[in-house]
């Protein structure tokens, strides 16, 4: 069965002159990246033309994406709704991240990023002290990373790994299994919503930075 994806666009056309003034006032950095969810793609294109800033990078962000930012990007402007992507992107990129929502600009607080850093360190310590590892895999298009999960499973030392493959991963079901720590290879944002999950990519980054 084929899957058909239909783009949904925001109906309200913003006041770009007002947005230009607000962005200039709230964002001191000159070279920025604009990130946007699908429904704001046209807004992002028009905003790039209206701003006085130099837009050196643009990217659509999804819940399952981890955008990479080129050298020269000084700040990130996310056009969209909510903080689902924003805190994680601020943590991963180590750049100032701003959200443009309802013609207002807000900056992701440093304390939110520090909370995520502490959480990741705590989960890494839990992973190091765990014997039974649950490896989460989804078969959803765009999120399925079975090969990475299998490679990680084969590379485990002094730990017993178990692969969990499903279309929908429900964290409330995890307590039904005798697992010490969960490693997520699916949506990289899942670890934002649960304190028992560490993302595989973040796990590897921590190990690389620690020299392991």
Residue 1 domain flag: no
What number of other Cβ atoms are within 10 A of residue 12's Cβ?
7
**To which H or E segment does residue 57 belong?**
strand 54-60
Residue 67's domain comprises 16-108
Mean pLDDT rounded to a whole number for the chain? 84
Residue 10 domain flag: no
Residue 2 domain flag: no
Are 101 and 123 part of one and the same domain?
A: no
Mean pLDDT of 115-120: 86
Residue 5 domain flag: no
Residue 82 domain flag: yes
b/e sequence 91-123, b meaning 16+ C-beta within 10 Å: bbbebbbbbbbeeebeebeeeebeebeeebeeb
pLDDT score of 29 more than 80? yes
> What are the angstrom distances between the C-alpha of 189 and each of 25, 86, 129, 176?
30, 10, 23, 22
pLDDT score of 4 more than 70? no
pLDDT score of 164 more than 90? yes
Alpha helices of the chain — where are they, by DSSP H?
A: 16-26, 41-50, 86-93, 110-128, 146-155, 200-209
Mean pLDDT of 63-84: 80
Please tell me the predicted confidence (pLDDT) of residue 192. Answer: 52
pLDDT category at 73 given cuts 50, 70, 90 is: very high
Of residues 50 and 37, the one with the higher pLDDT is 50
86: CATH: 3.40.50.11850
How many residues belong to the chain? Answer: 212
Contact in structure between 163 and 138 (CB atoms under 8 Å): no
| DSSP state for residue 176 in the 8-state scheme | G
| Cα dihedral 75/69/42/141 (nearest 10) | -140
Mean pLDDT of 159-166: 94
């Amino acid at each position: 069965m084929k899957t058909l994806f239909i783009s949904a666009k925001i109906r309200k056309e913003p006041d770009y002159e007002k947005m230009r003034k607000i962005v200039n006032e709230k964002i001191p950095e000159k070279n920025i990246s604009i990130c946007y969810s699908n429904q704001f793609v046209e807004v992002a294109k028009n905003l790039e033309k209206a701003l006085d800033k130099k837009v050196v990078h643009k990217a659509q962000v999804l819940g399952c994406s981890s955008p990479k930012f080129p050298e020269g990007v000084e700040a990130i402007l996310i056009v969209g709704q909510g903080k689902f992507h924003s805190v994680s992107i601020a943590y991963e990129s180590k750049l100032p991240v701003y959200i443009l929502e309802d013609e207002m600009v807000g900056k992701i607080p440093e304390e939110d990023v520090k909370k995520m850093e502490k959480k990741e360190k705590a989960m890494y310590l839990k992973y190091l002290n765990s014997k039974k590892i649950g490896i989460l895999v989804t078969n959803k298009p765009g999120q399925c990373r079975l090969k990475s999960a299998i490679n990680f499973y084969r590379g485990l030392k002094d730990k017993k790994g178990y692969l969990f493959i499903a279309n929908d991963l429900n964290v409330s079901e995890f307590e039904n299994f005798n697992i010490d720590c969960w490693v997520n290879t699916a949506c990289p944002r899942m670890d934002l919503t649960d304190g028992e999950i560490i993302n595989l990519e973040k796990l590897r980054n921590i190990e690389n930075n620690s020299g392991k």
